[in-house]
């Protein structure tokens, strides 16, 4: 299989630089490449493995971890066929062991199950993995360079995991027209005649290999002045860095940069480059109380001090669905979330859910027995230990029972009617305070007459940042469409007892052509009852404090649906 040469990749200099520094010192800690689809992240990572081997030796291993990888395949286990034939326990190397001395590449690492990602990153940091499973006890060397890629649009990486990567590089598609022409020319030449293309770039690839080998030989002779060490420590303290992982990565990166240019001492420029590479993905969380993007500075005071007009009063007090007015209402900056401000717990008391809990537990237990992932090696091991022989009865199935994480699925109504009722700003603050209690957050936004996902499977920090970027409330309210989309997403995600669903809306939909208020109310009521029926925990509806007609409309909409209803600020 031919790999596109590293030297032939156009642009992406910062990502190339990060990988070259890891080739000089593999102990730096791994590179995380962030970028949208089709920006050559995978192409660059695959070409990088060619630079690690000595020119006279075989290429270094390049091991790719698929998203559906099992724990047995990743960590290693026993050779099943050998055990069946001979009854002898013989180890089967996992992907971590096979990657020793090369590159372990994980595409879309943010979609990898958290348990596997933790195991993988621990072995990358310690460069050794202790295998204790299926009757095996082995110590496996795992000295590989970890390269992960992800598309931030498809969900964030947990902060605990992103912190384990030494470098974080944003790969941007900002090529000039001439660069795009050259990218197309080179790619087509490689696809049409790969051997000829590799031969054409063999000289540039060999030069890079020689440069890396010379830097490796120079690495341990590079000195770091005490003044620069003190400067990094002070900057890390000012930045509020936790632990020493980031500072050690900066020091190793700066030393590798000095070795790569043939110097014997680390310079200020080396440290600045190392700081940018190592801190870019760690300091990405915006500071608190930052004004929302696109919201003028002066809009905050004006929107807070302006008296409510007739349009605001009518939107908040109307007993029937209203057409949204076209002009947007600017929002004030979010308050810094300190405590959970919802007035009642999201999950009802235990005595109210005992019957439902028993039904859910039985349903989940049956589901696991019928469709849980099969652990083949564990099943084989247990069967052999139970006296099973090929062709004879007595096979034992072992299935995994995953430990689900706490997920929040939320619908946020950012139509103009919610902004006119001064509800959206308050709901946004309360939602921002509540997301901190979950591991994964998905926010569905209804704004400008459209329903779209603001974030999906994101971390609480990213959810807070996304909420701050909503500058105004505007547009119509396709509430029925939004509720249906929310229900589909929750069911597709495999709801568990740890999930929570929160709907933040004033409940006033925009009517479809020819639809009456009673028909809209009935359709949404049926949909809400279906959500309660199919989800382990009943959703919670957060609504504004409004006039009597609005409360009457919401009471009619939610009565008998099983939805728990609370009012903002109560």
| Cα–Cα distance, 85 to 29 (Å, whole number) | 42
Own/partner pairs for 291-294, CB < 8 Å, 24+ apart?
A: 291/333, 292/331, 292/333, 292/334, 292/468, 292/469, 292/470, 292/471, 293/468, 293/469, 293/471, 294/469, 294/471
349 has a pLDDT exceeding 60: no
Statement to judge: residues 30 and 128 lie in one domain: yes
Q: How many helices (H) and strands (E) does the chain have?
A: 23, 17
Mean local confidence (pLDDT), 162-184: 83
Statement to judge: residues 274 and 157 lie in one domain: no
Tokens representing 276 are 């940018």
Mean local confidence (pLDDT), 503-519: 86
pLDDT at 336: 58
pLDDT category of residue 317 using cuts at 50, 70 and 90: very low
93: how many CB neighbours lie within 10 A of its CB? 15
| Cα–Cα distance, 452 to 439 (Å, whole number) | 21
pLDDT category of residue 350 using cuts at 50, 70 and 90: very low
Tokens representing 114 are 């958290």
Select the more confidently predicted residue: 479 or 381.
479
| Cα–Cα distance, 236 to 21 (Å, whole number) | 21
pLDDT category of residue 291 using cuts at 50, 70 and 90: very low
Tokens representing 245 are 């992982």
Mean local confidence (pLDDT), 321-337: 63
* CATH code of residue 225: 1.10.8.80
Q: Is 245 annotated as catalytic?
A: yes
Q: Which DSSP string do the residues of 153-190 spell out, in sequence order?
A: GG-PPPHHHHTT-SEEEE------HHHHHHHHHHHHHH
By DSSP bridging, strand 440-447 and strand 407-413 are parallel
| Cα–Cα distance, 537 to 244 (Å, whole number) | 41
526: how many CB neighbours lie within 10 A of its CB? 11
Statement to judge: residues 204 and 229 lie in one domain: no
Statement to judge: residues 335 and 235 lie in one domain: no
| Cα–Cα distance, 414 to 444 (Å, whole number) | 10
Residue 314's Cβ-side half-sphere holds a number of Cα atoms within 13 Å equal to 8
| Cα–Cα distance, 388 to 351 (Å, whole number) | 46
Mean local confidence (pLDDT), 254-267: 92
Domain annotation covers residue 355:
no
Query: Would you say 433 and 337 are in contact if contact means Cβ atoms under 8 Å apart?
Result: yes
Looking at the structure of the chain, the number of domains it has is 3
| Cα–Cα distance, 420 to 408 (Å, whole number) | 26
| Cα–Cα distance, 101 to 142 (Å, whole number) | 8
Query: Which residue in 17, 216, 229, 245 is the catalytic one?
Result: 245
Domain annotation covers residue 398:
no
Statement to judge: residues 156 and 241 lie in one domain: no
pLDDT at 221: 92
513 has a pLDDT exceeding 80: yes
pLDDT digits (tens, 9 = 90+) for 394-452: 777 776 655 667 888 999 988 888 777 678 888 888 888 778 788 888 999 988 888 98
Domain annotation covers residue 352:
no
Q: Last residue of some domain: 168, 185, 209? A: 209
Mean local confidence (pLDDT), 314-331: 56
**Closest by Cα among 320, 316, 323 to 426:** 316
* CATH code of residue 319: 3.40.50.410
Select the more confidently predicted residue: 469 or 401.
469
Q: Report DSSP state, residue 495.
A: -
| Cα–Cα distance, 177 to 556 (Å, whole number) | 59
| Cα–Cα distance, 497 to 18 (Å, whole number) | 42
Question: Residue holding tokens 């990060």?
Answer: 18
Statement to judge: residues 49 and 198 lie in one domain: yes
Domain annotation covers residue 273:
yes
313 has a pLDDT exceeding 70: no
Q: Of how many residues is the chain composed?
A: 570
Statement to judge: residues 102 and 230 lie in one domain: no
Select the more confidently predicted residue: 568 or 191.
191
Domain annotation covers residue 366:
no
Per the structure, the complete domain to which residue 100 belongs is given by 6-209
| Cα–Cα distance, 384 to 87 (Å, whole number) | 8
393 has a pLDDT exceeding 90: no
Percent of the residues in the chain that have a pLDDT greater than 70, as a whole number:
78
Domain annotation covers residue 293:
no
- CA 508 to the chain's CA centroid: 33
pLDDT digits (tens, 9 = 90+) for 11-69: 888 889 999 999 999 889 888 888 877 777 888 888 888 888 766 666 778 888 887 78
Tokens representing 117 are 């990602």
Statement to judge: residues 323 and 261 lie in one domain: no
Domain annotation covers residue 143:
yes
Statement to judge: residues 117 and 60 lie in one domain: yes
Q: Last residue of some domain: 209, 230, 258? A: 209
79 has a pLDDT exceeding 60: yes
Statement to judge: residues 68 and 93 lie in one domain: yes
Statement to judge: residues 417 and 545 lie in one domain: yes
Helices 41-48/13-24 angle, 10° precision? 30
Q: Last residue of some domain: 147, 181, 209? A: 209
pLDDT at 235: 86
* CATH code of residue 107: 3.40.50.300
Gyration radius of the chain's alpha carbons: 28
pLDDT category of residue 366 using cuts at 50, 70 and 90: very low
Is this model's pTM higher than 0.85 or not?
A: no
Domain annotation covers residue 374:
no
Give the chain's largest Cα–Cα span.
Answer: 85
Statement to judge: residues 269 and 409 lie in one domain: no
Residue 328's Cβ-side half-sphere holds a number of Cα atoms within 13 Å equal to 15
Query: Would you say 69 and 106 are in contact if contact means Cβ atoms under 8 Å apart?
Result: no
């Amino acid at each position: 299989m031919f790999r596109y040469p590293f030297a032939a990749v156009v642009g992406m200099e910062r990502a190339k630089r990060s990988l070259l520094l890891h080739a000089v010192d593999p102990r730096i800690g791994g590179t995380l490449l962030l970028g949208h689809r089709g920006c050559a992240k995978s192409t660059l990572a695959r070409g990088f493995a060619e630079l690690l081997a000595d020119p006279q030796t075989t290429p270094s291993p390049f091991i790719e971890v698929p998203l559906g990888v099992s724990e047995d395949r990743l960590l290693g286990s026993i050779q099943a066929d050998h055990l069946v034939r001979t009854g002898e326990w013989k180890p089967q190397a996992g992907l971590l062991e096979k990657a020793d001395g090369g590159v372990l590449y994980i595409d879309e690492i943010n979609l990898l199950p958290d348990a596997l990602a933790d195991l993988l990153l621990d072995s990358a940091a310690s460069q050794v993995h202790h295998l204790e499973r299926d009757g095996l006890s082995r110590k496996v060397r795992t000295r590989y360079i970890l390269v992960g890629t992800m598309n931030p649009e498809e969900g964030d990486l947990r902060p605990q995991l992103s912190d384990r990567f030494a470098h974080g590089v944003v790969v941007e598609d900002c090529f000039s027209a001439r660069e795009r022409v050259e990218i197309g020319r080179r790619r087509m030449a490689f696809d049409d005649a790969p051997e000829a293309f590799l031969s054409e770039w063999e000289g540039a690839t060999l030069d890079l290999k020689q440069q890396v080998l010379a830097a490796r030989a120079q690495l341990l002779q590079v000195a770091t002045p005490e003044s620069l060490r003190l400067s990094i420590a002070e900057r890390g303290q000012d930045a509020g860095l936790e632990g020493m992982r980031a500072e050690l990565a900066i020091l190793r990166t700066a030393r590798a940069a000095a070795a790569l240019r043939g110097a014997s001492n680390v310079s200020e420029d080396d440290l600045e480059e190392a700081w940018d590479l190592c801190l870019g993905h760690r300091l990405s969380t915006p500071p608190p109380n930052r004004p929302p993007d696109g919201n003028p500075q002066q809009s905050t005071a004006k929107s807070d001090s302006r008296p409510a007009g007739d349009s605001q009063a009518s939107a908040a007090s109307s007993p029937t669905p209203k057409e949204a007015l076209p002009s947007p209402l600017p929002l004030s900056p979010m308050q810094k979330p300190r405590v959970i401000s919802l007035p009642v717990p999201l999950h009802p008391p235990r005595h109210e859910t005992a019957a439902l809990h028993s039904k859910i537990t039985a349903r989940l237990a049956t589901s696991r027995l019928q469709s849980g992932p099969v652990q083949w090696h564990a099943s084989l091991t247990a069967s052999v230990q139970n006296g099973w022989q090929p062709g004879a009865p007595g096979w034992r199935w072992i299935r995994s029972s995953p430990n689900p994480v706490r997920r929040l699925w939320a619908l946020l109504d950012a139509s103009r009617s919610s902004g006119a009722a001064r509800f959206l700003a308050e709901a946004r603050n309360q939602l921002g305070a509540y997301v901190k209690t979950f591991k994964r957050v998905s926010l569905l936004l209804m704004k400008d007459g459209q329903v779209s996902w603001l974030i999906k499977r994101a971390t609480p920090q990213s959810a807070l940042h996304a909420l701050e970027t909503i500058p105004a409330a505007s547009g119509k309210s396709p509430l029925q469409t939004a509720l249906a989309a929310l229900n589909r997403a929750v069911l597709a995600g495999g709801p568990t007892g740890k999930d929570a669903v929160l709907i933040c809306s004033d409940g006033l939909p925009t009517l479809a052509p020819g639809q009456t208020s009673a028909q809209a109310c009935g359709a949404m009521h049926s949909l809400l009852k279906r959500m309660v029926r199919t989800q382990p925990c009943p959703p919670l509806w957060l609504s504004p404090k409004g006039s009597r007609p609005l409360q009457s409309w919401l009471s009619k909409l939610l009565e008998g649906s099983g939805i728990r209803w609370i009012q903002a600020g109560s």
